[in-house]
Chains A and B, each alone.
Chain A
């Protein structure tokens, strides 16, 4: 370091003080919030595992599957940009719905897996589903230590149906 460089160092001026003022008022506001139990002041964070912030209703957290509505048409699996939906099904002969009718063949799901390790959360599968079988829910707590359990099978996807928001979150 050149010695002349040291001479260029000037004592701190008001600039630093105005910065300190911003920091100090923020600190006071946070203290006021904590001491008053949230009546005055401001705090920007929550104590996460104890207090949970709910995402907005439209948030694309995880996809829920209504098994009974699915007709194994494979539209979702085909339109997925990274092909992370795995569907298998078979035809079942159902008895006629009214006497004298003929038995109908109905497609039944054997497997409906979504690999959330691959999923890009784009929502195209939900969007193309013509039978209202797939829904978004804002739920987000399903991280895993391994890749394997990120593959959600059809029963687990059915469980997510409980968390689908009122009115699908589309209006609010």
Chain B
């Protein structure tokens, strides 16, 4: 009698059920910004996921059209606020290329060191938030403690933790201000900076070790990330996924090796690549990139050239008519600025290609058929910042 009952129950499970629409958001579980997902779910599996973006839209491309070039660095800082310094560099390089000026070597090396610091701090935020999203709170404190150390160094040079605004067209900020006294106050890197950086890089590397011990062996973490959210390399390329997400899929593409927006060519560093393109690989590639960045910074501070911080540029900056596109390897992926100038005080058009926007566009594909509890694991591993998505 009982057996008869159970078989009946089994039949009813096979019945077609109506999909349920589930609204996730508008929020992000770990406040990377504001994102809304409209998911059609069938039981525990998603059949269709549609991200709704635009909640963080601040219109930076349009705002840039009514501002002068020195004012725009303030705005581009805020695109991906987790790595503000890295956003400035490609924009400044684009304007410099149109003007035909080149920053002096010391300024370029300072840019390089601070960009790598921004990369470390951005990846450490990922190291903090990703295990937290999967339920492990402890790595957060280790990663954020180390990030604070790196941000303090950034602040000691630029004056800002998140929004350094230290790059100027033709170099980095040379003096305090334009007055008779302040013109003499040079804004070179502080005296103790190089020694402190060397010390901090040792600590960053030992924290990487700690984080690896904390997270990498954890069975729960492994079970939730290994084989989850696999992005094959062709799919990643066709969706325009870039940065650590692309490298986790096995493609060793890094603009630091192929482009010349910063003098990376003399440096010895590896491009870590993953094998499977799953969440685990994306976590691992970022951890490895922190170590490589520390390696780059060490080489850079050992060989930093002396010299001026600023090339000769006119007092009122006008960029000659023309257009250019500069792409850079940002912590989140490829960042590009298409700058169109008609020769005025500000750009005619500034198109921003932000990494997170393209990385996020793979979400509908990757979340299709995924289990609802895996949503957070997959979304967190893509590591997008909604300010970078919506601009």
Using CB atoms and an 8 Å cutoff, list the residues of chain A in contact with chain B. 10, 12-16, 18-19, 21-23, 26, 44, 55-56, 58-60, 69, 79, 81, 120-124, 126-136, 167-168, 170-172
Interface residue stretch chosen among B28-36, B182-190, B238-246, B248-256: B182-190
- In chain B, positions 174-203 with a C-beta closer than 8 Å to chain A are 175-182, 185-187, 190-192
CB<8 Å pairs between A and B, sample of 11 = A15-B216, A16-B219, A19-B213, A22-B213, A44-B141, A81-B67, A81-B74, A122-B163, A127-B176, A132-B177, A172-B192
- In chain B, positions 128-156 with a C-beta closer than 8 Å to chain A are 138, 141-142, 145, 148, 152, 155-156
Knowing A123-B159, A136-B159 are in contact, say whether A22-B219 is a contact too (CB < 8 A). Answer: no
Q: Tell me, in angstroms, the Cα distance from A58 to B215 when the chains sit together.
A: 36
Q: Tell me, in angstroms, the Cα distance from A120 to B70 when the chains sit together.
A: 14
Does B165 touch A at the CB level, under 8 Å? Answer: yes
Knowing A15-B219, A56-B156, A127-B177 are in contact, say whether A168-B213 is a contact too (CB < 8 A). Answer: no
Does B158 touch A at the CB level, under 8 Å? Answer: yes
Knowing A170-B187, A171-B191 are in contact, say whether A22-B210 is a contact too (CB < 8 A). Answer: yes
Interface centre among B74, B175, B215 (most CB of A within 10 A): B74
- In chain B, positions 59-84 with a C-beta closer than 8 Å to chain A are 67-68, 70-71, 73-75, 77-78
CB pair B190 A122 closer than 8 Å: no
CB pair A121 B160 closer than 8 Å: yes
Knowing A19-B214, A81-B75 are in contact, say whether A129-B179 is a contact too (CB < 8 A). Answer: yes
Set B142, B191, B217: member contacting A15, Cβ < 8 A: B217
Q: Tell me, in angstroms, the Cα distance from A12 to B220 when the chains sit together.
A: 9
Q: Tell me, in angstroms, the Cα distance from A16 to B148 when the chains sit together.
A: 26
User: Which residues from B are CB-within-8-Å of A127?
Assistant: 173, 176-178
CB pair A172 B190 closer than 8 Å: yes
| A150 CB to nearest B CB, Å | 18
Knowing A23-B138, A120-B74, A167-B185 are in contact, say whether A18-B177 is a contact too (CB < 8 A). Answer: no
| A15 CB to nearest B CB, Å | 2
User: Which residues from B are CB-within-8-Å of A81?
Assistant: 67, 71, 74-75
Knowing A44-B145, A58-B155, A134-B177 are in contact, say whether A18-B217 is a contact too (CB < 8 A). Answer: yes
Knowing A15-B216, A58-B157, A122-B165 are in contact, say whether A168-B210 is a contact too (CB < 8 A). Answer: no
Knowing A81-B75, A172-B191 are in contact, say whether A15-B177 is a contact too (CB < 8 A). Answer: no
Q: Tell me, in angstroms, the Cα distance from A171 to B148 when the chains sit together.
A: 22
Knowing A22-B213, A129-B178, A170-B176 are in contact, say whether A124-B70 is a contact too (CB < 8 A). Answer: yes
CB pair B186 A171 closer than 8 Å: yes
Knowing A81-B74, A123-B159 are in contact, say whether A128-B178 is a contact too (CB < 8 A). Answer: yes
Interface size for B (C-beta < 8 A) is: 47
User: Which residues from A are CB-within-8-Å of B138?
Assistant: 19, 23
Does B218 touch A at the CB level, under 8 Å? Answer: yes
CB nearest neighbor in B for A138: B159
Q: Tell me, in angstroms, the Cα distance from A138 to B179 when the chains sit together.
A: 20
Set A16, A122, A168: member contacting B185, Cβ < 8 A: A168
CB pair A60 B178 closer than 8 Å: no
19 new A-B contacts, CB < 8 A, other than A124-B71, A170-B187, are A13-B219, A15-B217, A22-B142, A23-B138, A26-B142, A44-B148, A58-B156, A60-B159, A81-B75, A121-B160, A123-B159, A126-B177, A127-B177, A128-B178, A132-B182, A167-B185, A170-B185, A170-B186, A172-B191
Does B222 touch A at the CB level, under 8 Å? Answer: yes
User: Which residues from B are CB-within-8-Å of A131?
Assistant: 179
| A3 CB to nearest B CB, Å | 14
- Which 6 A-B pairs give the minimum distances between C-beta atoms? A15-B217, A132-B179, A170-B185, A122-B74, A81-B71, A58-B159
CB nearest neighbor in A for B161: A59
Set B70, B148, B180: member contacting A79, Cβ < 8 A: B70
User: Which residues from A are CB-within-8-Å of B75?
Assistant: 81
User: Which residues from A are CB-within-8-Å of B160?
Assistant: 59-60, 121
CB pair A10 B177 closer than 8 Å: no
CB pair A79 B178 closer than 8 Å: no
Q: Tell me, in angstroms, the Cα distance from A59 to B155 when the chains sit together.
A: 6
Q: Tell me, in angstroms, the Cα distance from A59 to B152 when the chains sit together.
A: 10
CB nearest neighbor in B for A122: B74
User: Which residues from B are CB-within-8-Å of A59?
Assistant: 155, 159-160
CB pair B213 A55 closer than 8 Å: no
CB pair A168 B176 closer than 8 Å: yes
| B18 CB to nearest A CB, Å | 22
| B111 CB to nearest A CB, Å | 17
Kindly supply a per-residue 1/0 record for chain B positions 212-234, scoring 1 wherever the CB is within 8 Å of any chain A CB and 0 otherwise: 01111111001000000000000
| B203 CB to nearest A CB, Å | 11
CB nearest neighbor in A for B75: A81
